[in-house]
Amino acid sequence: MSKLILTRHGQSVWNAENRFTGWVDVDLSNKGQEEAKKSGQLIKKLNIKIDISYTSYLKRAIETLTLILKENNIALKFNTAWELNERHYGSLTGLNKEETKKKIGEEQFKKYRRSWDIAPPPIQKESEHLSKFSPLNNGIPAERIPACESLKNTYERVVPFYEKEIKKSLVLNKNILISAHGNSLRALCKFLFNISNKKINELEIPTGNPLIISFDKNLNIEKNYYLDSSRAKNIIFNQ
């Protein structure tokens, strides 16, 4: 039986400021570092071998994974993939969420933030935030770099990466750890849990709380649960 452990990075400094972060490469907050360490401690209690680890190009996810591996005395060898990056929030990048909601109205705000296939306007080429993107992004083919994304767009890069790179290791009964982001993990969960386009807006992924997904030999999901039950969110399944 293989296990897939999905962990959203700990709270970032922009999470704490309630800003749309997207591809901006911000650090973990002090709380986020503690959440990452706690994630590592919870995973350690599972007493299983972590065979392969993946993370995005963004340092808040990389730092979270690093802290988890250190807590488990695992060598800092992992795979980075831009396909696991957070959703690109386009022109919303850097804006305060509450102020934005007041400015554009709650209905439009919800469409941009939680709809399946509505993307915000593209980020402007002169945006100050472009210089704050991860330098690792320079390795992404230019034609694949978005100026904004919907969750559907995010899904269209996350799921093919899962199918090509991660699934084959699960088939071989490997335990996989992924440290990524709220929306890249929502996209993957949509696929794994067969969540409809309509219901996906209800799925929340808490920071720093590992989600365990256990598969049988045919990669059917047998169990799924958060390690910290006090901060668990509802897992939507086949809806």
Q: Could you give the residue numbers annotated as active site?
A: 9, 86
Closest residue by Cα to residue 151 from 139, 161, 159: 159
Sign of the four-CA dihedral 87, 89, 93, 95: negative
Q: Tokens 């749309």 map to which residue?
A: 20
46 burial (CB, 10 Å; 0-12 / 13-18 / 19+) is: middle
Bridge partners of residue 54, in order along the sequence: 79, 178
Task: Let me know: does 177 contact 68? Beta carbons within 8 Å.
Answer: yes
d(CA 193, CA 55): 21
**Residues for the chain: how many in total?**
239
